Amino acid sequence: MKIILTLIGSFTFFCNHIVLASNLEKWISDGEQHAKTHAIISFGYISVPLNNFVLLKSQVGICAIKFRSYIRDHDATPGSMFHSGSETFHAEYDWFYQTIGHNRFNKNSLISGQGKVKRSATIGIGRLILPSTSARITCGDIKIGWNYPTYLPMYSGNNRNNSISVAPTGWSEINKVKIDDNRLSWYSYLDSRDTIYIPKETLMNLDTQPLN
């Protein structure tokens, strides 16, 4: 009887693993596709198309991030108690930051840079030793997580009370970004929000219409 229960348990675990892996692959593929065509705003995350700025605003400063590329290594392996076996993901981005008080990014008051971010397998006994900083973006005083391909959370660190307001844009050049443009839609963490999809063509209206 114990053998039968063990076999059933193992089979159930195997099936659940297959289902989870399938759902994960669907989520990844969906994210890759929308990174070319749509901005996504969920209850607590935002994703924007490649080469479009997303704005992030905290109590002390505002950041503009533009993802330039993303790639996955397709290196997933069967996991163990020492290694999760998860696939490795990468992205490259530009960032610009300045303190609150300006309606545009001013070259005399901003700091900027380029960065690379990576999310990889968890490693260690019981997988407790994590690559904790490799999947984090630092933009001035704003430190925020990242998920493949272009997902950013609407909060800083692991505390959802450290809310960050975000706005998708169609701008691709920093000198066009106008922080207080009334055509921008700002979002913060909201459990009850249904996922919103905004076509890239709609975002591009910000880049083609005259500034207010």
Q: What is the pLDDT of residues 181-191, one digit of tens each?
A: 999 999 999 99
- Average model confidence (pLDDT) for the chain? 79
Q: pLDDT at position 11, please?
A: 37
Classify 157 in phi/psi space as left (phi over 0), alpha (psi -120 to 50) or beta: left
Number of domains in the chain: 1
* 171-175-179-184 Cα dihedral, nearest 10 degrees: -20
Residues of the chain with pLDDT under 50: 2-20, 127-133, 210-212
Q: pLDDT at position 159, please?
A: 67
Helices vs. strands in the chain: H and E counts, helices first: 2, 11
Q: Which residues pair with 136 in a beta bridge?
A: 145
pTM of the model: 0.78
**126: containing domain:** 2-208
The sign one gets for the Cα dihedral 33, 197, 191, 180 is positive
* 105-40-135-76 Cα dihedral, nearest 10 degrees: -150
Q: Return d(Cα 198, Cα 65) in angstroms, integer.
A: 18
Q: pLDDT at position 205, please?
A: 77
Q: pLDDT at position 85, please?
A: 64
Q: pLDDT at position 106, please?
A: 81
